[in-house]
């Protein structure tokens, strides 16, 4: 495990999570959450879990984001 | 006032979590309690007992088979709940608002998806499901990628095209393959008088036993993969369709 | 509190932080989709915590291959558990979002405070 890459990924995770919580445009929140999941997938490869990385990249960054975007598209985009 | 109370509560929970983390054994240590009891045996004998070079697959399909059965039940229940809330789509007639607007996605998107789609499906089926015991991959991973590939196709070509290619009467039997395949392979062991999900059946020896075991694991992997993937596809189709854009069967399609 | 050990266990600290951020979102934000994002962040933080427990220094992925000794491999049990967890997480998210669609159809809003205050429409 490369500690510098690990540190960078953890920082990126916290940043994207904070941005996803702060933003008020829900579509942007869904996209930022997709970036969060992708960082999590890279972190799984650092933790020697290739199965988890594959699943997270397909499910977390792919399917979950599509479900969120579909719901936001059919309801409201603004958080109020 | 309410926000201050919430922040105070979070501060207390955070202090408790940090206190607990301070008491935990150092990360990366080989002597931590979780790696000293059953794990050495799983790592040494996993290939022999679980039947897979990928020990995670061995754990999922053998040592912790009941967990996996629960997981398959959960995704099937999720599909049932979504379908009960939102209803199924009608073949070639259900549309989402982008389909109803009549604007097609750009030619770049459609061409890229047309070339990438078969490659992604091949990757999901051949590399993930069929080769899942020797390399990273397995049923759920392959199913997720399979589902994602069809979702990409739907986003590029629209819901009517997708539901025409994958009609309901094909998907309904496939959705249950995961749970039926898993239970069937588990119950074979019970019928022989040994444990649930035993691949080494009594009365089968030598090379034949290996063949039977590989066959059973492949059936489970492909069953979970296809079933899981089709369940994801059905959930997305149900969430995509909109009642107000539904075409009527007797009205000629534009 | 021992800070050098805290730094060594950085993954644990970050997962605790992410858990708190998710919990804050679920409790404070009124929008139902925002609450679900918070719930997903909480879930992934727990996944990160459990997989980090299984990591060993200089470990290899738990796949039997030439030149990899079984004593070098990381713990496979957390990975198998979390693989189940990821699939369950997306299933619950799908059901929750379907409920959001139905709620929006009936009440015309996804703001939990408004829905609770309004009662039966």
Query: Per the domain annotation, does A80 fall within a domain?
Result: no
- Residue B66, min C-alpha distance to chain C (Å): 11
Candidates B24, B40, B74; nearest CB to C91? B74
Candidates A10, A48, A76; nearest CB to C59? A48
Dihedral sign computed on CA atoms, order B154, B157, B159, B161? negative
A41 at C interface, C-beta within 8 A: no
Query: Per the domain annotation, does C60 fall within a domain?
Result: no
Query: Per the domain annotation, does A66 fall within a domain?
Result: yes
- Residue C52, min C-alpha distance to chain B (Å): 7
**A72 contacts: CB under 8 Å, gap ≥ 6:** A26, A27, A30, C33
**Between chains, do B145 and A66 touch, taking CB under 8 Å as contact?**
no
**Between chains, do B232 and A63 touch, taking CB under 8 Å as contact?**
yes
pLDDT, position B83: 92
DSSP C9: T
Query: Per the domain annotation, does C64 fall within a domain?
Result: no
Candidates C6, C24, C81; nearest CB to B10? C24
Question: What are the backbone dihedrals phi and psi of residue B159, each rounded to the nearest 5 degrees, phi first?
Answer: -70, -40
C76 at B interface, C-beta within 8 A: yes
Give the residue with greater pLDDT, B250 vs C71.
C71
Say whether B27 sits in a helix, a strand or coil. Answer: coil
pLDDT, position C55: 85
**Between chains, do B55 and C81 touch, taking CB under 8 Å as contact?**
no
Q: Which of C9, C89, C97 to mutate to test the interface with A (most CBs of A within 10 A)?
A: C97
Looking up tokens 């993937």 gives: B229
**Between chains, do A70 and B239 touch, taking CB under 8 Å as contact?**
yes
Range of the domain at C79: 3-55+73-118
Say whether B39 sits in a helix, a strand or coil. Answer: helix
- Residue C99, min C-alpha distance to chain A (Å): 10
Low-confidence ranges of chain A (pLDDT < 70): 1
pLDDT, position B30: 78
Q: Predicted confidence band at C121 (pLDDT cuts at 50, 70, 90)? A: very low
pLDDT, position A14: 94
Candidates C34, C74, C97; nearest CB to A79? C34
Query: Per the domain annotation, does C11 fall within a domain?
Result: yes
Give the residue with greater pLDDT, C107 vs B134.
C107
Q: Which CATH number characterizes residue C10's domain? A: 1.10.287.3510
Query: C60: which strand partners?
Result: C73
pLDDT at residue C52 tops 80: yes
Give the residue with greater pLDDT, B102 vs C107.
C107
- Residue C119, min C-alpha distance to chain A (Å): 19
Q: How far apart are CA A46 and CA C42, in angstroms?
A: 21
ipTM: 0.91
**Between chains, do B77 and C102 touch, taking CB under 8 Å as contact?**
no
pLDDT, position B91: 77
Q: Predicted confidence band at C21 (pLDDT cuts at 50, 70, 90)? A: very high
Q: How many domains, chain C? A: 1
pLDDT, position C6: 65
**Between chains, do C37 and A20 touch, taking CB under 8 Å as contact?**
yes
A22 at C interface, C-beta within 8 A: no
Candidates C58, C59, C83; nearest CB to A52? C83
pLDDT at residue B251 tops 70: no
Percent of chain C with pLDDT over 90: 47
Rg (chain A; Cα; Å): 14
pLDDT at residue B243 tops 50: yes
Query: Per the domain annotation, does C62 fall within a domain?
Result: no
Query: Per the domain annotation, does C61 fall within a domain?
Result: no
Range of the domain at A26: 3-74
- Residue C116, min C-alpha distance to chain B (Å): 17
pLDDT, position B102: 78
**Could you tell me which chains touch chain C, where touching means 3 or more CB pairs under 8 A?**
A, B
Query: Per the domain annotation, does A79 fall within a domain?
Result: no
Find the largest Cα–Cα distance for chain A. 43
Q: How far apart are CA B28 and CA C55, in angstroms?
A: 5
- Residue A4, min C-alpha distance to chain C (Å): 12
Q: Predicted confidence band at C3 (pLDDT cuts at 50, 70, 90)? A: low
Which residues of C fall within a CB distance of 8 Å from B14?
16-17, 20
The residue length of chain C stands at 121
Q: Is B204 exposed, middle or buried (0-12, 13-18, 19+ CB in 10 A)?
A: middle
**Between chains, do C87 and B75 touch, taking CB under 8 Å as contact?**
yes
Candidates B34, B70, B82; nearest CB to C98? B82
Q: How many domains, chain A? A: 1
């Amino acid at each position: 495990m490369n500690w510098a890459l690990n540190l960078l990924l953890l920082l990126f995770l916290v940043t994207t999570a904070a941005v996803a919580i702060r933003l008020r445009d829900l579509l942007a929140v869904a996209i930022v959450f997709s970036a969060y999941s992708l960082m999590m997938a890279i972190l799984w490869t650092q933790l020697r879990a290739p199965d988890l990385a594959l699943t997270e990249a397909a499910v977390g960054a792919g399917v979950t984001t599509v479900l969120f975007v579909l719901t936001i598209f059919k309801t409201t985009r603004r958080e109020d | 006032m309410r926000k201050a109370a919430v922040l105070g509560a979070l501060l207390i929970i955070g202090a408790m979590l940090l206190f607990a983390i301070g008491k935990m054994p150092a990360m990366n240590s080989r002597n931590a309690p979780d790696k000293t009891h059953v794990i050495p045996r799983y790592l040494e004998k996993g290939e022999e007992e679980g039947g897979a070079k990928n020990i995670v697959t061995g754990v999922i399909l053998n040592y912790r088979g009941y967990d996996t059965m629960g997981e398959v039940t959960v995704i099937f229940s999720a599909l049932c709940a979504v379908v009960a809330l939102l209803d199924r789509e009608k073949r070639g007639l259900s549309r989402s608002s982008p389909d109803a607007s009549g604007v097609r996605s750009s030619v770049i998107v459609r061409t890229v998806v047309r070339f990438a789609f078969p490659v992604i499906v091949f990757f999901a089926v051949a590399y993930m499901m069929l080769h899942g015991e020797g390399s990273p991959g397995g049923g759920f991973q392959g199913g997720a990628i399979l589902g994602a590939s069809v979702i990409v196709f739907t986003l590029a070509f629209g819901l009517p095209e997708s539901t025409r290619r994958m009609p309901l009467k094909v998907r309904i039997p496939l959705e249950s393959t995961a749970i039926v395949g898993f239970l069937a392979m588990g119950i074979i062991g019970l019928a022989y008088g040994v444990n649930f999900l035993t691949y080494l059946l009594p009365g089968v020896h030598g090379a034949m036993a290996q063949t039977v075991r590989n066959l059973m694991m492949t059936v489970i992997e492909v069953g979970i993969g296809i079933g899981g993937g089709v369940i994801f596809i059905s959930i997305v189709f149900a969430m995509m369709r909109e009642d107000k854009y539904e075409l009527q069967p007797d009205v000629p399609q534009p | 509190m021992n800070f050098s050990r805290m730094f060594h266990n950085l993954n644990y600290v970050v997962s605790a932080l992410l858990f708190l951020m998710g919990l804050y979102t679920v409790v404070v934000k009124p929008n139902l989709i925002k609450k679900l994002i918070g719930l997903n962040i909480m879930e992934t933080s727990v996944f990160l915590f459990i997989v980090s427990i299984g990591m060993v220094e200089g470990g290899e992925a738990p796949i039997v291959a030439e030149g990899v000794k079984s004593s070098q491999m990381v713990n496979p049990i957390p990975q198998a558990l979390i693989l189940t967890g990821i699939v369950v997480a997306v299933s619950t998210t799908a059901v929750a979002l379907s409920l959001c669609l139905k709620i929006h159809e009936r009440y015309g809003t996804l703001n939990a405070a408004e829905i609770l205050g309004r009662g039966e429409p």
